[in-house]
Amino acid sequence: MSNQNEFRAKVLIAKTSLDGHWRGVSLVARALRDAGFEVILGGMLRPSQIAQVARDEDVDLVGLNVGGRIEVVYRIMDELKAVGLDGIPVFCGGTVPPGAASKLRELGVEVYPPGTTLAAIAEAAHRLTSGI
């Protein structure tokens, strides 16, 4: 699929919460790797750490596994702004109820709830990083 010379978009995958469920994270991370992305698996990072890693690793896209409340996602968006990454594409999956999903979409965060195919997630990642 991809070779060493080809540009590979870089995605940070992180869990917003300490709930620990890795099923979705590992599935999505593996799928994105298989789709040719360079995946930084951040794990359970604090909001401030997510922003730092996104900046330090110069990632093109932030993927969040939301296992908690969306207020934590708001904080992550603030932290991303604070490190100069406002406008970086962010998408998320996880246990996000419909009401919370609408609020996140208003914020510009794309939401891919359980039941989304891995192909659709990879397609979204390609689209979100295609302008680079």
Partner 1 sequence: MEHQSASGIERKLIYDRNDVPDSWWDLLRGGAGEAPFIRGAYPEMYRSKPWRIFQLSGFGSPEDMNARLKFLLKAGETGIIVKHDRMTDDHLYDVDHPEVAERREDVGLTGTVTVGLRDYQTIMDGIPIESVYAKPGGGVPQSAPYTQSSYWSVALSRGLKLSQIAGTGQSDFFLTYLGCPCKEQIPPEAALRFNLDIIEFCNEHMPKWVPVSIAGYNGADSGLNAPQELAAVLSTAVEYLDGIQARGRLKPADFAHQIGGVNFRVSMDFFEEIAKLRVARKMWHDLLLNRYGISDPKASRMRIHVVTAGSAMTYQEPFNNIVRGTVMALASALGGTQSLGVSGYDEALSIPSDHAHLMSIRIQQVLQEETGLTSVVDPLGGSFYIESLCNELEKRAWEVFDEIQGQGGFVATVQNGWLRGRASDEQTAQAKRFEANEMKLVGVNAHLVDDPIMHVDGFEGRSGDVTWAQAMERLTVLRRERHTTATMTALRELEGVCRGDGNIVPAVMGAVQADASIGEIGQVFRDAFGVWNVSENQFGV
Q: Which is nearer to partner 1, 122 or 132 (CB)?
A: 122
Burial class (CB in 10 A: 0-12, 13-18, 19+), 5: exposed
Q: Which of 33, 55, 103, 126 binds partner 1 (CB under 8 A)?
A: 33
CA 7 – CA 86 distance, rounded (Å) = 23
Q: Shortest approach of partner 1 to residue 6 CB, angstroms? A: 21
Q: Which of 9, 14, 47, 88 binds partner 1 (CB under 8 A)?
A: 47
H helical segments located in the chain: 23-34, 47-56, 70-82, 98-106, 118-128
Is position 30 an interface residue for partner 1 (rule: CB under 8 A)?
A: yes
82 binds partner 1 (CB under 8 A): no
Q: Are 77 and 109 in contact (CB under 8 A)?
A: yes
Is residue 16 within 8 Å of 66, Cβ to Cβ?
yes
Of 38, 55, 57, 72, the residue at the interface with partner 1 (CB under 8 A) is 72
The DSSP element (H or E) to which 83 belongs, if any, is: none
Contact between 105 and partner 1 per CB under 8 A: no
Applying CB under 8 A, the residues found at the interface with partner 1 are 16-23, 25-27, 29-31, 33, 39, 41, 43-44, 46-48, 67-69, 71-72, 75, 95-100, 113-115, 117-119
